[in-house]
Amino acid sequence: MGLVQLTGYSLLVVLAGFFQQWPLLAVNGIRANFVMVLLIALAFIPDKFYEYLWFVVLGLFILKFQSGFDGALLGVGLITIAAFWLGREMPWHWIVNNTALVVAGTLVVYILAKPSFILSNWLVVLGEIIYNVIIGTLLFFALASDERRSKF
């Protein structure tokens, strides 16, 4: 990956962090996890893990400015790092792999942040899963080349 691509994708990660905080993009109070779905879509692009790890660290930094443990942030970090390998190893077509990783990522974030929220507000969680899958699919289509898509 060249410097221009690395810079461009890095700017997209920063932009996703701003979109995630922008209240106008909330649908009925549900906000997509733009950073997580972008990082999952980006997991299919670089061949070298250290290039992808840069995007993950940048995304997590954008999401968390203060110190302290954050279960949701841990979930985003774990699922996005796992996505680099799982997306390539999962046996399905790339779109199914991307969708499965976004669904799993959304659930992992809720499980690590506040598991009881899933049971008490399952419609909100389902709404966020659907929103994240839509955004994640659109981002993957926008980012991936035809050559990359054919590999998965």
Decide: pTM greater than 0.95. Answer: no
Residue 12 pLDDT grade (very low, low, confident, very high; cuts 50, 70, 90) = very high
Mean pLDDT on 32-52: 91
Find the domain containing 143 and state its range: 3-151
- CA geometry: angle 91, 92, 97, nearest 5 deg: 105
pLDDT digits (tens, 9 = 90+) for 91-127: 888 888 999 999 999 999 889 888 899 999 999 999 9
Give residue 147's pLDDT: 44
Distance CA 1, CA 47 (A): 8
> What is the domain count for the chain?
1
Provide the token pair at 150. 């054919």
Q: Please report where in the chains the tokens 């399905």 appear, as a residue.
A: 92
Residue 112 CA: distances (Å) to CA of 43, 47, 49, 79, 147: 22, 29, 25, 11, 36
pLDDT digits (tens, 9 = 90+) for 47-83: 889 999 999 999 999 887 555 667 778 888 889 999 9
CB 64 within 8 A of CB 70: yes
Give residue 74's pLDDT: 83
In the chain, what are the helix, strand and coil shares in percent, each to the nearest 5?
80, 0, 20
Residue 149 pLDDT grade (very low, low, confident, very high; cuts 50, 70, 90) = very low
Give residue 103's pLDDT: 96
Q: Tell which wins on pLDDT, 45 or 103.
A: 103
